[in-house]
Structure 1
Amino acid sequence: MAGAERSDQQPKSIADFDPQKKPKRNKYAFACAILASMTSILLGYDIGVMSGAAIFIKEDLKISDVQVEILVGILNIYSLVGSAAARRTSDWIGRRYTIVLAAAIFFAGALLMGFSTNYAFLMVGRFVAGIGVGYALMIAPVYTAEVSPASTRGFLTSFPEVFINGGILLGYVSNFALSKLSLRLGWRMMLGIGAIPSVFLGLVILFMPESPRWLVMQGRLGDAKKVLDKTSDSKEEALLRLADIKEAAGICPECNDDVISVQSKGNRGEGVWKELLIRPTLAVRHILIAGVGIHFFQQASGIDAVVLYSPRIFEKAGITSSNQMLLATIAVGLVKTISILVATFFLDRIGRRPLLLSSVGGMIVSLTTLGFSLTIIDHSHKKLTWAVGLAITTVMSFVAFFSIGLGPITWVYSSEIFPLKLRAQGTSMGVAINRLTSGVISTTFISLYKAMTIGGSFFLFAGIASVAWLFFYMCLPETQGRNLEDMEGIFGNLNWLRDSKAAKKRAAADRSNGDSSRASNVQLVGGG
């Protein structure tokens, strides 16, 4: 009888120890995420190309350093108009056509900048391009998060940051390639050529499906189910996602008609601001603080100062040749792009929190060392090769640490934590803070380092990054693997950090007990 019991248990024991197969990556969701995220290349290209073009614009148009600051950084302020308008537009005409609109507006802005005859004309072009960038920044991560299955949402939602970095690299390469043209033509070609990718983007995005969450909010459940079937890892997950979205949108679970009535208040976002800002629940308040805070600290830690003014930083470090400065900026772009590609593969494996805290910790060390090396160079009467090398190395390490964690996770985290009916408004608030902070940093950096030295400015950024690390540690819970509709459940608990540590200890104890039980069962099976 003992032998019979062992034989009965054997198949069960072996099945228990078989490793679970991971679902295959959904190629359709992957393609949708790539197409939507490609709109972010518009911002990246503008950031990269303006860092080098500003050198030639200053010489050609005979403008001051203050005017250069305003020219470089004002696009971020203008993008606030676009991100604010995108919230309403995306709820009105849908996520997909909002992306098309973003590409069209940026196309017009790039042409205006390319044909600029003076500083005022150039600023008009910056305004139009800024609106397009604001649209793209707000809608790309929202669409990607809404179309992605939970298993790969972090991977797919990091794509906007990937394409921002790719755009920055293209802008740097464009600077170097077109710098040999005449002074009058070179910078205009650098800026105007940005119209080409926007045409391509506007066309290919028409082949994308609409966001299933937007379709549900319109009452188009049949269309939403078709999209979910294609973008989920299984039919069961598609049905579960549809049920969750219907519940979040206030639609009864039994409703399955192709078109149903949805209250216009929830549909158009009217009254949502009251729920988000005036009378938020504890969970929504926590989400809002986390979403806005991560956007603020992403820019306040100085990334745009480094990326937009890298030629000036390298000049302060002792590189005087224009060609060498532009080549050094290309190296920055390469490091940034490679780092973000590495990060995309760890977001859904390591988790948001560990990657974010490690990233910001590395940024603090890099900024402190950069400030130290630039201060030494500034106070030395002769060229110190070791200090120059250290400054260049720490610029590279700073952008690498930023791109591995804080860069992509900001967009992933903020796009996935807001409840469905607050998502467009909450995300647009985060983008607004992001662009406003970036605008302040980029329009004041030259004045800042003139007032407190170039080294002192990076010590300031290191201090801000230290505050950011504490904020992330205390306020941002892990969201890896959670459904978008479940996010409110992990926010609002003031003791979440203590509870999560206790949960980890219990999980470790359970694993330890499971390993002991597994060993006993294996011995039992082997004995049979």
Structure 2
Amino acid sequence: MNVMAKAEKKISSAFIYFFGSFGGILFGYDIGVMTGALPFLQADWHLENAASLVGWITSAVMFGAIFGGALAGQLSDKFGRRKMILMSAIVFMVFSVLSGVSPDMGEASAYYLIIVRMLLGLAVGAASALVPAYMSEMAPAKARGRLSGLNQTMIVSGMLLSYVVDFLLKDLPGEWAWRLMLGLAAVPALILFLGVLRLPESPRFLLRKGDEAQARKVLSYIRKNPAEIDQELASIKETAKEERQANQKTSWSTLFSGKYRYLVIAGVGVAAFQQFQGANAIFYYIPLIVQKATGQAASSNLMWPIVQGVILVIGSLVYMWIADKFNRRTLLMVGGAVMGLSFILPAVINWMMPNMNPMTIVVFLCIYVAFYSFTWAPLTWVLVGEIFPLAIRGRASGLASSFNWIGSWLVGLIFPIMTASMPQEAVFAIFGIICILGVIFVKTCVPETRGHTLEEIEEQGTNHGRVKASNPEN
């Protein structure tokens, strides 16, 4: 025990924050890797005219992630955030390798890959739920936006990494190219597993399980001021005491009780809007989008994903700089408005000028990605990590993650079908309208959380529930 304690004291806060957010690399890589692998896979398996099958192969990971997020959220409340992140890394390693060694047996190959990628999605969804919850519980309130934004930086870095790998492997024989692209996802999963082995458990989870001594020890790694540690422990204990006094048993119905409904709707709604706004249509299919716009082969357009990836990484760094300088709601509304216009304007210009340069839509997509990268992309996960009360955080984070992945899955599935039946400008205009609806949702349904402790945010939700109960017409 003493040896373990000495080993734990060597853990730096930088190490904790880095590997606490490293899970984002996993699903960032898998979000991006199919962008480059798909053109080679289509050619190798002769799927150029199979829009629905291509949609299923691309979106299978997101379909599995729907269930992975909800399952991990429940299990993390029982076993802890750290153990579930370790389990996710193992699952990710196994099914990344199985994706790369898909047997070549005709049409059955596509169904094999769909099933394997669905199982891989369990780990991707788990990471998307666990990492924000873990980071929000480790970060101090004044820096929570910036540190939680590390998750987004990791996600987009994973995407950029996959784009670069795709580009470097594009000159290999087609079959080897896409297999290596998919299989190499096991490498960041192994790094995550080895790093998380040394991570401590979340202090809020430890205190909830009654281990105050260990919770205090973990806080001592990441809080410099002893008074701050005492205050934070007291605040968490007070919240836990109120929950015990209420003798509340958390269930799915609890999420939508009067006390929690406001915050749950806000968090889950933002998570859902992030994906239904259509960002992943760009990330999954940008080579095919450029192909349709210019007539150039998709496999020769693998530089465009790298351009998008660089924009995303720069945007995530911009977000970390401004995260705690502007209100969350302000950034979401400004970002959503520009994103919506970036999707709608190409359709308007094309209607007014039918001979519009086909690359105009790609330029507007870059503007969309730029604003998405420092607003909705990181802030969704910051809000998901900080807006849910302790008693329901695991379940609610899982539910938000699942709705996010439902949107991601549907966008990945139907985008190739939609673009096969209507102009690309019209498809993106639909997503633009959804962006504007997202702005309205944030303005009317989402509370401000910047600078508030997790316990203060919970009190906002409780007070809002009381006001609604006493004024049902509002």
Between the aligned partners of 2:45 and 2:419, the Cα distance in structure 1 is: 24
Picking from 363, 370, 380, the partner of 2:339 is 363
Partner amino acid for 2:402? A
1:171 aligns with 2:155: no
1:476 aligns with 2:455: no
1:315–1:77 distance in 2 versus 1, CA, 3 Å: same
Deviation per CA, 1:402-434, whole angstroms, max 9, x where unpaired?
011011000001210111111111111100100
Partner amino acid for 1:451? S
How many residue pairs get aligned? The number is 448
Question: Which SS does the other structure have where 1:116 is aligned?
Answer: coil
How much does 1:29 deviate?
Answer: 3.9
Counterpart residue number, 2:129: 138
Do the aligned residues in 2 keep the contact of 1:109 with 1:127 (CA within 8 Å)? no
Deviation per CA, 1:61-90, whole angstroms, max 9, x where unpaired?
123121000110121111122112212221
1:208–1:354 distance in 2 versus 1, CA, 3 Å: same
Deviation per CA, 1:415-464, whole angstroms, max 9, x where unpaired?
10111111111111100100011111110011122333211111111111
Between the aligned partners of 2:450 and 2:382, the Cα distance in structure 1 is: 10
How much does 1:323 deviate?
Answer: 5.5
1:459 aligns with 2:429: yes
How much does 1:372 deviate?
Answer: 4.2
How much does 1:165 deviate?
Answer: 0.6
How much does 1:373 deviate?
Answer: 5.6
Counterpart residue number, 1:150: 141
1:143–1:103 distance in 2 versus 1, CA, 3 Å: same
Do the aligned residues in 2 keep the contact of 1:368 with 1:458 (CA within 8 Å)? yes
Between the aligned partners of 1:318 and 1:75, the Cα distance in structure 2 is: 29
1:389–1:90 distance in 2 versus 1, CA, 3 Å: same
Do the aligned residues in 2 keep the contact of 1:53 with 1:190 (CA within 8 Å)? yes
1:373–1:65 distance in 2 versus 1, CA, 3 Å: farther
Counterpart residue number, 1:68: 54
Percent identical residues: 32
Partner amino acid for 2:202? S
Do the aligned residues in 1 keep the contact of 2:36 with 2:299 (CA within 8 Å)? no
Do the aligned residues in 2 keep the contact of 1:90 with 1:424 (CA within 8 Å)? yes
Picking from 106, 129, 149, the partner of 2:92 is 106
Partner amino acid for 1:214? F
Give the TM-score normalised by the residue count of structure 2: 0.90
1:200 aligns with 2:170: no
1:494–1:400 distance in 2 versus 1, CA, 3 Å: farther
Question: Which SS does the other structure have where 2:197 is aligned?
Answer: helix
How much does 1:44 deviate?
Answer: 1.0
Counterpart residue number, 1:354: 330
Between the aligned partners of 1:389 and 1:250, the Cα distance in structure 2 is: 59
1:45 aligns with 2:29: yes
How much does 1:226 deviate?
Answer: 1.0
Give the TM-score normalised by the residue count of structure 1: 0.81
Between the aligned partners of 1:475 and 1:242, the Cα distance in structure 2 is: 30
1:311 aligns with 2:317: no
Between the aligned partners of 2:440 and 2:447, the Cα distance in structure 1 is: 13
Partner amino acid for 2:404? N
Do the aligned residues in 1 keep the contact of 2:278 with 2:411 (CA within 8 Å)? yes
1:140-289 matches, cutoff 5 A: 140-250=131-241, 270-277=249-256, 279-281=257-259, 284-289=260-265
Between the aligned partners of 2:424 and 2:140, the Cα distance in structure 1 is: 45
Question: Which SS does the other structure have where 1:249 is aligned?
Answer: helix
1:60–1:167 distance in 2 versus 1, CA, 3 Å: same
1:58–1:324 distance in 2 versus 1, CA, 3 Å: closer
1:57–1:476 distance in 2 versus 1, CA, 3 Å: same
1:337–1:439 distance in 2 versus 1, CA, 3 Å: same
Between the aligned partners of 1:370 and 1:41, the Cα distance in structure 2 is: 32
Do the aligned residues in 2 keep the contact of 1:356 with 1:409 (CA within 8 Å)? yes
1:333 aligns with 2:309: yes
* CA-atom RMSD in angstroms: 2.2
Between the aligned partners of 1:199 and 1:486, the Cα distance in structure 2 is: 37
Between the aligned partners of 1:356 and 1:94, the Cα distance in structure 2 is: 31
Between the aligned partners of 2:389 and 2:304, the Cα distance in structure 1 is: 43
Do the aligned residues in 1 keep the contact of 2:288 with 2:298 (CA within 8 Å)? no
Between the aligned partners of 1:360 and 1:231, the Cα distance in structure 2 is: 34
Between the aligned partners of 1:374 and 1:101, the Cα distance in structure 2 is: 49
1:121 aligns with 2:121: no
| Structure having greater relative contact order (Cα 8 Å, sep ≥ 6) | 2
Partner amino acid for 1:72? T
Question: Which SS does the other structure have where 1:401 is aligned?
Answer: helix
1:485 aligns with 2:455: yes
What stretches of structure 2 of length at least 5 have no aligned partner?
1-10, 104-108, 468-474
Question: Which SS does the other structure have where 1:271 is aligned?
Answer: coil
Deviation per CA, 1:82-131, whole angstroms, max 9, x where unpaired?
11221222122211111111111000110000100122321232022101
1:292 aligns with 2:268: yes
What stretches of structure 1 of length at least 5 have no aligned partner?
1-26, 253-261, 497-528
Counterpart residue number, 1:23: none
Question: Which SS does the other structure have where 2:156 is aligned?
Answer: helix
Between the aligned partners of 1:363 and 1:479, the Cα distance in structure 2 is: 23
Between the aligned partners of 1:248 and 1:188, the Cα distance in structure 2 is: 50
Between the aligned partners of 2:329 and 2:446, the Cα distance in structure 1 is: 7
Deviation per CA, 1:160-206, whole angstroms, max 9, x where unpaired?
21111111111111111111111111100000011111111101111
